[in-house]
Amino acid sequence: MKKNLKRIAIVAMVAMVIAACKKNQESAQTEPQETVKNADKVLQYIKDLGFPASSIVDNGSEFVVEEDILFPKNMQIPADGVGTKIEQYYTGSIVNATKKLNIRIFVDPSMTSMSSEINSAIAQWNGVPNSTLRFSIVTTAPYDILIKDEALAASPGFVTCGQAQFPSGGSAGALVRINKSAIAGNSFAQRARTICHEFGHCISFRHTNWSAQGESTATNVPGVPGTDASSLMNGGQCNSGATVLSQKDKDATAALY
């Protein structure tokens, strides 16, 4: 009898181990599939926003669009897809009413040498009339945006000076990468401009010159129509673009925030 009980116990333990292994195998198979499914949705979301497929680069855990806009493959896609659609054109997904009042920026040690440029960029966004949008610098977690130095890949004839994420789930885009070596030789105003531009992406602004960038569609911020050669959010101008927010940039910020 004792022998039988012992055998039964051993059989039960083996069965449990097999079941656990099977469950782990299923989990290992399911998680990548879910990741792939979300990545597919993110890719479709990018296309729905009007970005041409030729501008989308698969960079492992994220998609990079037009050299400086980041879409993490695990990002939360707005519930309404493109939603209110697509600075003066934006993504339709903005920082929510609570978080916009204090968007916390953590400056990675790799970027402390450009603290003055970061402060200048923050002052521009915080100084927009009729806007409650506010950025601040924090020295510890929690924070909303991490800004760090990173050597960014360049395409032929084009240097990537910075990259940033769009908002997701009511929070500001969580990451800004600045290619310090690429902008080191620029004037102070142009270095600050690059940082200010990337912060603009973090709060939903797209490139104002979207059509010239090859995008198929974009929707104006309500009440702020038309092109704007003076916009700081024009793309492809990291060492030659406007260094201050244009009137339309400010109007668009006030309209959204």
Whether residue 17 lies inside any domain: the answer is no
What is the pLDDT, as a whole number, of residue 220? 79
- Mean pLDDT within 63-83: 80
pLDDT at 173: 97
C-beta separation of 84 from 218 below 8 A: no
User: What is the mean predicted confidence (pLDDT) over 234-246?
Assistant: 91
> Given a cut of 70, is residue 68 above it in pLDDT?
yes
116 C-beta neighbours (distance < 10 Å), count: 11
- Structural domains in the chain (count): 1
Secondary structure string (H, E, C) spanning the chain: CHHHHHHHHHHHHHHHHHHHHHHHHHHHHHHHHHHHHHHHHHHHHHHHCCCCHHHEEECCCEEEECCCEEEECCCCCCCCCCCCCCCCEECCCCCCCCHHHCEEEEECHHHHHHHHHHHHHHHHHHCCCCCCCCEEEECCCCCCEEEEECCCCCECCECCCEEEECCECCECCCEEEECHHHHCCCCHHHHHHHHHHHHHHHCCECCCCCCCCCCCCCCECCCCCCCCCCCCCCCCCCCCCCCCCCHHHHHHHHHHC
pLDDT band, very low/low/confident/very high, at 88 (cuts 50, 70, 90)? low
CATH (domain of 237): 3.40.390.10
Q: Find out whether 241 and 233 touch, Cβ atoms under 8 Å.
A: no
What per-residue confidence (pLDDT) applies to 9? 42
Q: Are 203 and 133 in contact (CB under 8 A)?
A: yes
Q: What is the pLDDT of residues 15-43, one digit of tens each?
A: 443 343 343 444 444 446 777 889 999 99
Q: Please give the mean pLDDT across all residues of the chain.
A: 84
At residue 8, what is the residue type? I
Structural contact between residues 144 and 172, judged by C-beta atoms closer than 8 angstroms? yes
Helix axis angle, 115-126 to 188-202, nearest 10°: 60
Provide the domain limits for residue 251.
45-256
Quote the Cα angle for 171-148-218, to 5°: 50
150 domain residue, yes or no: yes
- For residues 30-57, give the mean pLDDT: 84
- What pLDDT, in 10s, does the model give residues 132-182? 999 999 999 999 999 999 999 766 667 899 999 999 999 999 999 999 999
Given a contact cutoff of 8 angstroms between Cβ atoms, the answer to whether 131 and 94 are in contact is no
| Residue at 39 is within a domain | no
Judge whether 69 lies within some domain. yes
Range of weakest confidence among 88-97, 123-132, 167-176, 207-216: 207-216
Q: Which residue has the higher pLDDT, 229 or 25?
A: 229
Is 28 part of any domain? no
198 and 230 Cβ atoms separated by less than 8 Å: no
- Per-residue model confidence (pLDDT) at position 15: 42
**Residue 90 confidence (pLDDT):** 87
Q: Which residue has the tokens 């012992």?
A: 6
pLDDT in tens, 175-214: 999 999 999 999 999 999 999 999 999 999 989 987 777 6
Residue 102: inside a domain:
yes
Give pLDDT, residue 74.
93
Query: Could you tell me the pTM of the whole model?
Result: 0.78
* Within a domain: 11: no
Alpha-carbon gap, residue 234 to 66, rounded angstroms: 12
Percent of the chain at pLDDT above 70?
A: 81
Domain-located, residue 181: yes
**Residue labelled with tokens 């055998």:** 7
247 or 4: whose pLDDT is higher?
247
